[in-house]
Each structure stands twice: as structure tokens, then as C-alpha cells.
Amino acid sequence: MNQLSGNTLAYLGDSVFELAVREYLISKGVTRVDDLHKQAIVFTSATGQMNAYDLLESNLTEKEMNIFKRGRNGESTRKPKNASLATYQKATGFEALIGYLYLENEQERLQELLQIIFEHTTK
């Protein structure tokens, strides 16, 4: 996965994180689609992903930090709609980390980090 750009890792990581959030919310008994959407945004918006990264930062390995930075520092042709550039970049770094762990089949580590996020994020 070292050959993939941060943006490519983030592209996949966004989907992996979205699915994990949806599974988590459903496992907590949220079943109405409108409620699922509203609660998922807390996690999956750029601000939510930036906050998730902030929760994880002190727990990341050097390799994981490097992957985050690859995503954060990647050039993007997209402009953030509802977030500052700094928030968007941090969110992209977070998504890259999630994508990397998924592609490397680091499921145990991915679940460990997701658990930290889910335990500390207000729904």
C-alpha cells in the first residue's frame, strides 16, 4: 500500500469508516433512516473525522502517523464545502489511515481505533 497516494487511501477509508459507523449505529438500536443519517454525520462529517483523529492521535504508531500525514498533505482538487481547509485536510489524513489499515488487513488494529472513537464520540 506504500505505492498508493494519500488521496487514494482516503477515498477507500471514507467508505470503510462510513460502513463502520452505520454498523455501529444499527448495533446500538438506531433503525430509522433519518435518525441513522443524523447520527452518522456526527462521525462522518469533516469535523467528525477531525475529532476522531484528535481522539486517536496519542495512540498512533509512527507508521500510522506517517500514513495520516500522507493523506493530510496530499494535493486535492476538491475544495471543502462545509469545513475549513485545515479541518478538511485533517479529515483526509484520518480517512487515509482508515483506508491503509483496511488494505493492510489490520482488522484488529482498525477495530481498536474505531472502538476508541465510538466510546468517546457523543451521538
C-alpha cell of 50? Answer: 477531525
In this prediction, residue 98 carries a pLDDT of 98
Q: How far is CA 110 from CA 82, 104, 115, in A?
A: 27, 10, 9
In this prediction, residue 74 carries a pLDDT of 83
For residue 45, what are the contacts with CB-CB under 8 A and spacing of at least 6? 82, 83
Structural domains of the chain in order of their starting residue, each with its CATH number: 6-120 (1.10.1520.10)
The CB density around residue 85, as the number of other CB atoms within 10 Å, is 10
pTM across the whole model: 0.92
Residue identified by cell 474505531 is 114
- Report, as ranges of residue numbers, the positions in the chain whose pLDDT lies below 50: none
The CB density around residue 41, as the number of other CB atoms within 10 Å, is 12
**Is 35 part of the annotated catalytic residue set?**
no
